[in-house]
Structure 1
Amino acid sequence: MKHPVDVHVGKRIRHRRWMNGTTQQQLAEKVGIKFQQIQKYETGMNRVSASRLWDIAHALGVPVSFFFEGMDMAEPEAKPGDMPGDVMADREALELLRSYYAIPEQQRRRLFDLARVLSDAA
């Protein structure tokens, strides 16, 4: 049975890897393991040892604490219109975020203002 902490850490590994544009194979090579092991970490099927988490953090350019951020937050009951509890695990949301930051700053600000107006109208 998967432990919630292992699942959370795995999601954070996947999130950071994806935001860096790093493949499972590339991360595995940096850490010195097979990509299948990265898959198992990301799904929470296998626990990540402290030393391996240290290596992964170094390879992804984050402190080890990054992987535990958000663990102590209680999940509030969802209401219609609320964002999903783990929006950073949603591939579409991550693609949108990555695309958003690829837009030049002035245009990005205009897009942000448009999105705010549209959400207020909904």
Structure 2
Amino acid sequence: MSQETVRTPRTAQRVDEHVGERIRHRRTVLGLTQEQLAQSLNISYQQLQKYETAANRVSAGRLYEIANKLEVDIGFFFEGLRQGQREEPMPHGGRNRIALDLVKNFMDISDAEIRSAVASLVKSLSENPAIGAALLQANGTEASGSRVTANDEAAE
């Protein structure tokens, strides 16, 4: 017997939820409010909210319009799906929210030299966690999950 993916109402719901999350994610990255995107699509912000929460399904035609307004390929909305399921949900808080805020704030920096300096700083911090821990120590804050903390320094 060959293995086939059985489509269930729950599978379809998961896909709808994933598509809605991807719409919200891209809208947020671009710094658009629900009202702004909805207005450009000639729909109410409530309707967009229903798409983002999967309360209403997005038609193929509407998804095509949304992709154009959000400047992405339509496949963007399905990235991360595996056999009809989401690999990992995008929670409203935590690391994804921090990443979205970081991208939004980064895009708000108008000076190219400052953006370049910030990008270099972030790269350095990702490559060497001790630098971040040292910055936190200078501010009197412990680094959770870092090798060096203010407590380590006090013990020496």
TM-score for the superposition, normalised by structure 2: 0.62
Q: How many residues align?
A: 113
**2:27 paired with 1:17:** yes
Q: Does 1:44 align with 2:54?
A: yes
Aligned counterpart for 1:26 among listed residues 28, 36, 59:
36
Match of 2:16 among 3, 6, 28: 6
The gaps in structure 1 that reach 5 residues or longer are 76-84
Percent identical among aligned pairs is 42
Q: Deviations over 1:62-102 (max 9, x none)?
A: 11111011112774xxxxxxxxx445853232102333454
Partner of 2:136: none
Comparing 56-65 with 101-110, greater Cα deviation is found at 101-110
- Distance 1:88-1:113 versus aligned 2 partners, 3 A rule: farther
Q: Give the unaligned 5+ runs of structure 2.
A: 1-8, 130-144, 149-156
Question: Residue type of the partner of 1:98?
Answer: K
Corresponding residue number in structure 1 for 2:100:
94
After TM superposition, the score normalised by the length of structure 1 is 0.77
Task: Report the RMSD for the aligned CA atoms in angstroms.
Answer: 2.6
Structure with bigger helix share is 1
